């Protein structure tokens, strides 16, 4: 299963044209990877920024790790709630 997850994330990383920290993302399963991708892509759209810069922001702020450790609590949240949660994480005002 880890090989599939590695392939999936490399595919997404290539699409986003980024370099990723393999240790930061590969400790999770496919559902967690899909959730991380969902969050990055939707927050990028919400902020009207490239996915690659949002990925870097999530990585540097440790939000990417937080999405993994608190996956059970976060993955059931609605999109609007998640976007506001991320804004709060980064200390930004809500839209």
Tens digits of per-residue pLDDT, 12-22?
555 444 445 54
pLDDT over threshold 80, residue 80: yes
At residue 93, the pLDDT reads 64
At residue 24, the pLDDT reads 46
pLDDT digits (tens, 9 = 90+) for 23-70: 444 555 778 888 999 999 999 999 999 999 999 999 999 999 899 899
Return the ∠ at Cα 37 (arms to 31 and 40), rounded to 5°: 140
State how far the Cα of 21 lies from the Cα of 15, in Å rounded to an integer: 16
Which helix (H) or strand (E) is 75 found in, with range? none
State how far the Cα of 37 lies from the Cα of 51, in Å rounded to an integer: 9
The model's pTM = 0.70
Q: List the chain domain ranges.
A: 2-89
Task: Note whether 41 and 51 are within 8 A (CB).
Answer: yes
């Amino acid at each position: 299963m880890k090989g599939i997850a590695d392939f999936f994330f490399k595919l997404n990383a290539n699409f986003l044209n980024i370099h990723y920290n393999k240790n930061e993302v590969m400790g999770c399963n496919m559902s967690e990877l899909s959730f991380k991708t969902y969050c990055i892509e939707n927050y990028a759209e919400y902020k009207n920024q490239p996915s690659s810069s949002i990925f870097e922001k999530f990585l540097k702020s440790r939000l990417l790790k937080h999405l993994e450790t608190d996956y059970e609590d976060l993955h059931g949240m609605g999109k609007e709630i998640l976007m506001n949660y991320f804004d709060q994480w980064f200390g930004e005002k809500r839209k």
